[in-house]
Amino acid sequence: MVDEFSDLANPIWSDDQLLDFIVKHPILMNRPVVATPRGTVLCRPSELVLDLLENPVASFTKEDGEQIKYERKER
């Protein structure tokens, strides 16, 4: 079976066309967009959300068992 989305990296598609594809097929994004007063980020990898939180956790374990330790970086 041919993947109907295999050509999305082709420069023939405009940004608007790519956004239309995502609206019609949300699985293409595959990550949440998180918006807070600290900013808006497409959170891939998921730990990117920590920079947007006022009081992020210092560590957590992802679903796959990966241990994440977090220290806020100065902006």
Task: Report whether pLDDT(72) > 70.
Answer: yes
Q: Specify the number of domains making up the chain.
A: 1
Residue 65: left (phi > 0), alpha (psi -120 to 50), or beta? left
In a domain, 50, yes or no: yes
Reported as a single tens digit per residue, the pLDDT across 7-65 is: 888 899 999 999 998 899 888 888 888 999 999 998 888 899 999 999 999 999 998 99
More confident residue, 4 or 25: 25
In a domain, 51, yes or no: yes
In a domain, 8, yes or no: no
Cβ(34)–Cβ(40) below 8 Å: yes
In a domain, 24, yes or no: no
In a domain, 39, yes or no: yes
- Please give the residue range of the domain that contains residue 57: 31-75
Q: Considering the entire predicted model, what is its pTM?
A: 0.59
